[in-house]
Amino acid sequence: MGAREVGLPDVVGSGALPSRVTIWEVGARDGLQNESVVVPVAVKLEFLDRLAAAGLSVLEATSFVHPKWVPQLADAAELLAGLTQRPGVVYPVLVPNERGLDRALEAGVTHIAIFASATETFASRNLNRTLDSQFEMFEPTVSRALAAGLDVRGYVSMCFGDPWEGPVARSQVVAVGERLLEMGCSQLSLGDTIGVATPGQVESLLEGFRDVSPLAVHFHDTYGQALSNTLAALRCGVTTVDSSAGGLGGCPYAESATGNLATEDLVWMLDGLGVETGVDLDKLVETSAWMAEQLGRPSPSRVVRALSK
């Protein structure tokens, strides 16, 4: 059963929303990185190609993190070597440090992302650095990437809450984001890594970044708030949203982090609001249902479950 067969309700806008939203699809990287059983490269390549065929124009393909820490992505170089890139689609990769950048440059990557922490404890656990010294690692990575003509995105994790430290001060998140921008990052993605945010918090944080553009948001759905938080962000002027096909994902360094916002659930909402994404929902649902079969379990996405019956 597809979206057309179900019949979407009439398209009705709601408040001041952007006319178009760019979906930054993280399923192949953030979605798969926490899987305990290694997914074959051939399956990952087909997943990426299916996502591109569904109309997604930004596909975060993999990460050059050390295989010891994320075994699922140990095949990053092999995957990129086998990837047939579709015209009009960009395939960013996550790089943790200069060694990761070296590998990305060897693979011919044109877009990278770095991953910073807004809290002291997560910086220690995820990066083996202090909150301040993490920037010493990022600075040469970013400067070399920019010199090589690469685009650099900056992720900021634990923006709304930290499982060890609790609530995170807005000023602390803004300070981390501003340092990444000063280094030359072209975009910030503000992450609710453990999924504790609510819309009021989203509006408050974005107010702290009111003079910063462009911003993206990255919500996890631990407490079922990802869609409402996304809508709040869109009303604040955000036009890029991270999501994961089928709602796959988590965080290997934060056990309380559950799946990302499902791309299908996001597209269903945006279609109903009359916000353009360029995504074919039926093809996307077929892709996520297929991937769920490869993983041997049902998709967490409500839209995938509803349209795959």
User: What distance in Å separates the CA atoms of residue 49 and residue 240, rounded to the nearest whole number?
Assistant: 21
In sequence order, the 6+-apart residues with CB closer than 8 A to the CB of 35 are 72, 295
**Starting at the edge strand that comes first in sequence, how are the strands of the sheet with 93-94 ordered?**
58-59, 22-25, 240-243, 215-219, 187-192, 151-157, 111-117, 93-94, 62-63
Is 185 annotated in the active site? no
Q: Which two tokens stand for residue 101?
A: 């950048």
User: What distance in Å separates the CA atoms of residue 263 and residue 248, rounded to the nearest whole number?
Assistant: 9
Which candidate in 159, 185, 236, 251 is catalytic?
A: 251
Helices (DSSP H) in 54-198: which residue ranges?
76-82, 98-106, 120-122, 134-147, 170-183
Tell me the backbone φ, ψ of residue 91, rounded to 5 degrees. Answer: -125, 75
Tell me the backbone φ, ψ of residue 28, rounded to 5 degrees. Answer: -75, -20
Cβ atoms 291, 284 nearer than 8 A: no
Number of H helices, E strands in the chain: 12, 11
Known catalytic residues are: 251
